Structure 1
Amino acid sequence: MHPSQTVGSALPEHALNVAVIGAGYWGPNLARNFHASPDWRLTTICDLDAERANRLADAVGGAAVEGSVQALLEDPGLDAVAIATPARTHHSIAAAALAAGKHVLVEKPLADTLAHGEQMVRLAEASGLVLMADHTYCYTPAIQKIRELIAAGELGDILFIDSVRINLGLIQQDVDVFWDLAPHDLAILDFVLPQGLRPVRVSAHGSDPLGAGKACVGHLVLELETGAMAHIHVNWLSPTKIRQLVIGGSRRTLVWDDLNPQQRVSVYDRGVDLGTGTGLAERSQSNISYRLGDTWSPALPEHEALAAMVTEFAASIRAGRQAQTSGGAGVRVLSVLDAATRSQQAGTPVALPTLELESAS
Structure 2
Amino acid sequence: MATRVALAGYGYWGPNLARNIGQVERAELAGIFDPDPGKRELAAKRHPGTAVLSSWEETLDSQRFDALVIAAPAETHARLAEEALQAGLDILVEKPLALSVEDAFRLTLLADDLERVLMVGHTYEYNPAVEKIRVLLETGTLGAVFYGYTQRLNLGRIRDDIDAWWNLAPHDISIFNFLFQASPIRVWGQGSHHLNPALADVVFATLEYPGNILAHIHVSWLDPSKERKMTLVGAEKMVVFDDMDADARLRIYDKKAIPSESPDQYGLYHTKLHAGDILIPQLPMTEPLFAECRHFVHCVETRERPRSDGRGGVRVVQALEAVSRSIANGGGPVELESLPFPAAGLRDLR
Sort the TM-score into its range (normalised by shorter chain). over 0.9
Match for residue 199 of structure 1 among 184, 189, 210: 184
Are residues 1:162 and 2:146 paired?
no
Per-residue CA deviation, residues 170-210 of structure 1 (Å, 9 max, x unaligned), is: 222122211111111111112222x23x1111101011244
The answer for the alignment partner of 1:85 in structure 2 is 72
What CA distance in whole angstroms lies between the structure 2 residues aligned with 1:54 and 1:174?
24
Q: How does 1:333-344 map to 2 (within 5 A)?
A: 333-344=316-327
Are residues 1:269 and 2:254 paired?
yes
Asked whether the equivalents of residues 62 and 87 of structure 2 are also in contact (C-alpha less than 8 Å), the reply is: no
Are residues 1:319 and 2:283 paired?
no
Asked whether the equivalents of residues 176 and 215 of structure 2 are also in contact (C-alpha less than 8 Å), the reply is: no
What CA distance in whole angstroms lies between the structure 2 residues aligned with 1:36 and 1:91?
28
Report the secondary structure of 1:245's partner residue.
strand
Further displaced range: 285-294 or 250-259: 285-294
TM-score scaled to structure 1, two decimals?
A: 0.90
Output the amino acid matched with 2:53. Answer: E
RMSD (Å) for aligned C-alpha atoms: 2.1
What CA distance in whole angstroms lies between the structure 1 residues aligned with 2:94 and 2:62?
22
Further displaced range: 51-60 or 294-303: 51-60
Per-residue CA deviation, residues 259-291 of structure 1 (Å, 9 max, x unaligned), is: 1110010011111122336xx999975431111
What CA distance in whole angstroms lies between the structure 2 residues aligned with 1:80 and 1:356?
28
Asked whether the equivalents of residues 174 and 312 of structure 2 are also in contact (C-alpha less than 8 Å), the reply is: yes
Structure 1 portions without partners, runs of 5+: 1-13
Are residues 1:225 and 2:210 paired?
yes
What CA distance in whole angstroms lies between the structure 2 residues aligned with 1:106 and 1:293?
43
What CA distance in whole angstroms lies between the structure 1 residues aligned with 2:62 and 2:227?
44
Per-residue CA deviation, residues 221-257 of structure 1 (Å, 9 max, x unaligned), is: 0111110111011112211111110011111000011
The answer for the alignment partner of 1:5 in structure 2 is none
Higher RCO, 1 or 2 (CA under 8 Å, sep at least 6)?
1
What CA distance in whole angstroms lies between the structure 1 residues aligned with 2:178 and 2:241?
14
What CA distance in whole angstroms lies between the structure 2 residues aligned with 1:284 and 1:71?
77
Match for residue 56 of structure 1 among 36, 39, 43: 43
Deviation (angstroms), 1:72? 2.1
Are residues 1:133 and 2:117 paired?
no
Structure 2 portions without partners, runs of 5+: none
Question: What is the aligned-residue identity percentage?
Answer: 37
Match for residue 336 of structure 2 among 352, 355, 358: 352
The answer for the alignment partner of 1:6 in structure 2 is none
Q: How does 1:1-361 map to 2 (within 5 A)?
A: 14-193=1-180, 195-196=181-182, 198-210=183-195, 212-276=197-261, 286-347=269-330, 348-357=332-341
Asked whether the equivalents of residues 46 and 53 of structure 1 are also in contact (C-alpha less than 8 Å), the reply is: yes
Report the secondary structure of 1:357's partner residue.
coil
What CA distance in whole angstroms lies between the structure 1 residues aligned with 2:96 and 2:190?
20
Asked whether the equivalents of residues 34 and 41 of structure 1 are also in contact (C-alpha less than 8 Å), the reply is: yes
Per-residue CA deviation, residues 303-322 of structure 1 (Å, 9 max, x unaligned), is: 11121111101111222111
Per-residue CA deviation, residues 108-163 of structure 1 (Å, 9 max, x unaligned), is: 11112221111111111111111001111222221221222222211111110111
Equivalent pairs counted in the alignment come to 344
Deviation (angstroms), 1:34? 1.2
TM-score scaled to structure 2, two decimals?
A: 0.93
What CA distance in whole angstroms lies between the structure 1 residues aligned with 2:266 and 2:149?
26
What CA distance in whole angstroms lies between the structure 2 residues aligned with 1:132 and 1:223?
26
Deviation (angstroms), 1:212? 3.6
Asked whether the equivalents of residues 62 and 88 of structure 2 are also in contact (C-alpha less than 8 Å), the reply is: no
Report the secondary structure of 2:68's partner residue.
strand
Asked whether the equivalents of residues 176 and 215 of structure 1 are also in contact (C-alpha less than 8 Å), the reply is: yes
Output the amino acid matched with 2:193. Answer: D
Asked whether the equivalents of residues 177 and 216 of structure 1 are also in contact (C-alpha less than 8 Å), the reply is: yes
